[in-house]
Amino acid sequence: MTQAKIKDINHVAIIMDGNGRWAEARGLDRLDGHMRGARMVKKIVRASKTLGVKHLTLYAFSTENWKRSEKEVSGLMRIFRRYILSESADMLAEGVRLKFIGKRDELDDKLTSLMNWVEGQTAQNSTLNLTIALNYGGRDELVRASRKMAEAVKNGDLKPEDITENTISNYLDTAGTPDPDLVIRTSGEFRTSNFLPWQSSYSEFAFIDESWPDFTVALYEQAISNFRRRERRFGSVIGK
């Protein structure tokens, strides 16, 4: 494997965790933490472009997050709508292509129409591919992909013996996006919480103590420079 291959960073995926604790520690409402978190997104999107990251995937809401209070869930949905409305012009101007992954049919119509609209608006952009995982769960994604494959087999469009790892990748929401090189999780938790299980099989991981609202471009750069120093073996023996 060449040195350049080892150091390439094409796709960063981030589990933006810790908004709620950040707010609670300051006597604020959890939604204040989510609003601070949304502001951080803009900084990280800009920094990604500077650092040469081509794909950035952000975990915004999991299929398990519906277990939270109605107030927090509806507040988050409002933040997502506002984020799309307030950021779309800048994203368009800055070459950002925005896409969403996750189970869309459980989201309300106001939000899904904005998601569809902004995806269409930014479809021609290619400087940075920003994917937001919204009502995303890796297991749910695999269930939906399996159902689609089963339908294709039933209709005679796919033969069971032709199903390969590539076929499965192509049935996932992330079809066409390379696997993440680096997955970052903020706020000190050492778990992936159903984020990109198939796609991150060979990703490097960075677990950062700071909560998402306290994340900084400097911490982001540090995670990327640590990544560049790691040796990715993909099951082989380097140098042999």
Q: Which residues are catalytic?
A: 17, 65
Only segment of 17-25, 113-121, 215-223, 224-232 that touches ligand IPE (CB under 6 A): 17-25
Provide, rounded to whole angstroms, the least separation between the CB of residue 40 and ligand IPE. Answer: 11
Provide, rounded to whole angstroms, the least separation between the CB of residue 66 and Mg ion. Answer: 14
DSSP 135: E
Distance between CA atoms of 178 and 229, rounded to whole angstroms?
Answer: 21
Nearer to ligand IPE, 171 or 203 (CB): 203
Q: Are 55 and 41 in contact (CB under 8 A)?
A: no
Nearer to ligand IPE, 112 or 193 (CB): 193
Within 19-174, residue ranges assigned H as helices are 19-24, 30-50, 70-93, 109-121, 138-154, 165-171
Strand 96-101 with 55-62, pairing? unpaired
Considering only 11, 12, 17, 181, the residue that binds ligand IPE (CB under 6 A) is: 17
A 10 A CB-CB count for 149 gives 18
Q: Are 65 and 97 in contact (CB under 8 A)?
A: no
Nearer to ligand IPE, 24 or 90 (CB): 24
Considering only 106, 108, 189, 221, the residue that binds ligand IPE (CB under 6 A) is: 189
Nearer to Mg ion, 17 or 32 (CB): 17
- Residues 3-42 as x/- pattern, contact with Mg ion by CB under 5 A: --------------x-------------------------
Nearer to ligand IPE, 8 or 72 (CB): 72
Considering only 44, 53, 57, 62, the residue that binds ligand IPE (CB under 6 A) is: 62
Task: List the structure tokens of 152.
Answer: 């294709």
Identify residues 20-39 at the interface with ligand IPE (CB under 6 A). Answer: 20-21
Distance between CA atoms of 4 and 159, rounded to whole angstroms?
Answer: 38
| Residue 80 binding ligand IPE, by CB under 6 A | no
**CB neighbour list of residue 132: distance below 8 Å, 6 or more residues apart:** 57, 58, 60, 98, 99, 100, 101
Residues 233-236: contacts with CB within 8 Å, 24+ apart? 234/1, 234/202, 236/1
- Residues 88-127 as x/- pattern, contact with ligand IPE by CB under 6 A: ----------------------------------------
